[in-house]
Amino acid sequence: MQTKTNWSLALGMVLLIQLLSACAAKEDAQLQKPNILFIMSDDHAYQAISAYSDHLINTPHIDRLAKEGMLFTNASVTNSICAPSRATILTGKHTHINGKIDNIMPFDTNQVTFPQLFQAAGYQTAMYGKLHFGNNPKGVDDFMILPGQGNYINPRFITPNGDTTITGYTTDIITDLTLNWLDKKRDKEKPFLMMYLHKAPHRAWWPSPEKFKTFSQKSFPEPESLFDDYENRGRAAKEAAMTISNHMLLSYDVKVLPEAVSALEIDDDPRSARFFRGNEYPRINDEQKALYQPVLDSIAEDFKTRWPSMTDREKRSWKYQRYMQDYLGCISSVDDNVGRVLDYLDENGLAENTIVVYTSDQGFYLGEHGWFDKRFIYDESFKTPLLIRWPNEITAGTTSDEMVQNLDFAQTFLEAAQIDAPTDMQGESFLPILNGAKESLDREAVYYHYYEYPGAHSVKRHYGIVTQDYKLAHFYYDVDEWELYDRNKDPQEMRNVYSDPTYAEVVTTLHKELDALRVKYQDSPDLDQKYIDIYEERRRKREQNRK
């Protein structure tokens, strides 16, 4: 009897020990799961990251991610505009499937977004900064997001417990919030997913007072195509309303005080003065004003002295310089702040097992083709910066020219965290590229579709296919034009060779491949029409409301 009891006791002990160690192993596995720090800025052109090219600015902190990780030279988006890009990132689905075709269309919140899957799998999750999505995020334990586009100075935030306004410069503040959560708010026993989302360098490109001062003294090289005349292209490029010459506003964009503009009796667009009279400049306090005003005065002075005698070309160059000074001033703050966060990871032993991603919601024109803004399938807006560091898995200093897309992020992160991805996501995990398991994905081409037309900047609707060598696009709705670019021979995309007989075979092949991609991703002429009808309906409603 005695013996039997001892035996059961011993067995019980063994079972208990096994159970405890199983729990510990589970906890260990949970702890070993990588953290994800997803850093995204808004409208950050890869041309303005020195890991890609240092002709405009040095971004030493963002560059660290390339030096210590992987730089993607061919990363792109599926629809080059803010909210649609974010919807694609969150759902892992193309615009025509997740329904967020433009910045206006509401997002159906019944859809699964990847942070929800991380949260359900035991991750600590948070989001700070610009979501610009129309809805509050789902699947995050904590968030503070800017309403809509948000403000650069003294921004208001939406939080789970109501609104709050914080004094200071938005890029610094979003970083403070992020660091505060990492340091004080999260459960350090669990892996984390942090979405750290900058507003900068979005229009109207408003740098911090210090950067405004220093960058207004700098000058920058002009891109070769600054004076593009859009010959050899279709109507879409000619009719886009995003030129530095005609659509970049003197007060709103390049910060010439409205008094200086009217002193020269120039008819600036009526919307232009709103920067100084609307919700941006007037929200700053006296202390901030004392820092900004002297720089604004000297810009106004320079403008009044030089503008009247400038040729049109010189005016374009002058505006380009002002644009770059402000845009790059914003980038410089983003870079400094990325540095603060990377330092935090280093100092807290988090660097090794944290996947740090730096990207933008799309690319941007920095004077190429005479433009600012984005939207087109052409490279500067179609491509987006992407740098990823994960010391445990990625070989430092590697470069990949794989055609990865924002469509792939969700599945990549989920696979890295060993969480099952829903089967209806449309991307492909590029984890094998990151950890070197594969040299390339089984992907010959990517698909693109832009919708927001008629709309801001008048970039016509188009869809297309991009391979390593070519780009074929169809502009439709109020045109029916095809464009083909030879990416190797014409990297600046200055010559549409669609009708050039030398490319006849390429055209035939690409048409077939494009049709196949449309089928693969379930896009169709019916859906094109559905999304046109939505615009027609919106227009009818607007007209009715006017009556």
Round the CA-based radius of gyration of the chain to a whole number and report it: 25
Figure out which of the listed residues 51, 82, 89, 514 binds Ca ion, where binding follows CB under 5 A.
Answer: 82
89 binds ligand SGN (CB under 6 A): no
CB 23 within 8 A of CB 183: no
Measured from each CB, the residue nearest to ligand SGN is 82
**Whole-angstrom distance, CA of residue 42 vs CA of residue 331:** 10
Figure out which of the listed residues 43, 326, 393, 523 binds ligand SGN, where binding follows CB under 6 A.
Answer: 43
**Whole-angstrom distance, CA of residue 253 vs CA of residue 224:** 22
- Write down the least CB distance from residue 231 to Ca ion, Å: 29
Report angle CA 137, 182, 350 to the nearest 5 degrees. 120
Site mask, ligand SGN, residues 511-540, x = CB under 6 A? ------------------------------
Of 376, 86, 402, 81, whose CA–CA distance to 235 is shortest?
376
Q: What is the DSSP string of 418-447?
A: T-PPPTT--S---HHHHTTS-SS-S-SEEE
> Residue 231 has which token pair?
């010959």
Nearer to Ca ion, 84 or 191 (CB): 84
Nearer to ligand SGN, 202 or 369 (CB): 202
Phi, psi of 150 (to 5 degrees): 70, 175
Phi, psi of 303 (to 5 degrees): -60, -50
Nearer to Ca ion, 42 or 428 (CB): 42
102 binds Ca ion (CB under 5 A): no
457 binds ligand SGN (CB under 6 A): yes
Amino acid (1-letter code) at residue 151: N
Of 80, 129, 117, whose CA–CA distance to 102 is shortest?
80
Strands 398-400 and 70-72: parallel
Q: Return the range that interacts with Ca ion (CB under 5 A); candidates 31-39, 346-354, 355-363, 495-503.
A: 355-363
Q: Return the range that interacts with Ca ion (CB under 5 A); candidates 55-63, 79-87, 108-116, 383-391.
A: 79-87
82 binds ligand SGN (CB under 6 A): yes
Site mask, ligand SGN, residues 168-207, x = CB under 6 A? ----------------------------------xxx---
Site mask, ligand SGN, residues 127-146, x = CB under 6 A? -----x--------------
CB 327 within 8 A of CB 255: no
Handedness of CA 150, 152, 158, 163 (dihedral sign): negative
- Using a 10 angstrom Cβ sphere, with 0-12 exposed, 13-18 middle and 19 or more buried, the burial of residue 477 is middle
- Write down the least CB distance from residue 256 to ligand SGN, Å: 16
42 binds ligand SGN (CB under 6 A): yes
Nearer to Ca ion, 181 or 453 (CB): 453
Figure out which of the listed residues 33, 41, 43, 199 binds Ca ion, where binding follows CB under 5 A.
Answer: 43
Phi, psi of 152 (to 5 degrees): -75, -40
51 binds, among Ca ion, ligand SGN, none (CB under 5 to 8 A by kind): none
Figure out which of the listed residues 36, 40, 42, 260 binds Ca ion, where binding follows CB under 5 A.
Answer: 42
Please give the residues from 367 up to 426 whose contact with ligand SGN meets the rule CB under 6 A. 373
Site mask, ligand SGN, residues 204-233, x = CB under 6 A? x-----------------------------
Figure out which of the listed residues 103, 113, 208, 405 binds ligand SGN, where binding follows CB under 6 A.
Answer: 103
Nearer to ligand SGN, 202 or 322 (CB): 202
> Residue 190 has which token pair?
């669990």
Distance of CA 220 to the CA centre of its chain: 23
Nearer to Ca ion, 45 or 510 (CB): 45
Nearer to ligand SGN, 146 or 357 (CB): 146
3-class SS at 139? coil
**Whole-angstrom distance, CA of residue 451 vs CA of residue 102:** 7
Beta-carbon contacts of 331 under 8 Å, excluding residues fewer than 6 positions away, are: 44, 48, 49, 57, 59, 200, 201
Site mask, ligand SGN, residues 62-81, x = CB under 6 A? -------------------x
Length in residues, the chain = 547
- Write down the least CB distance from residue 481 to ligand SGN, Å: 22
Please give the residues from 437 up to 456 whose contact with ligand SGN meets the rule CB under 6 A. 456
- Write down the least CB distance from residue 320 to ligand SGN, Å: 16
CB 199 within 8 A of CB 150: yes
Tell me the site size for ligand SGN, rule CB under 6 A: 13
Amino acid (1-letter code) at residue 493: E
CB 434 within 8 A of CB 390: yes
> Residue 105 has which token pair?
């269309």
* Contact footprint for Ca ion (CB under 5 A): 42-43, 82, 361
- Enumerate binding residues for ligand SGN (CB under 6 A): 42-43, 81-82, 103, 132, 149, 202-204, 373, 456-457
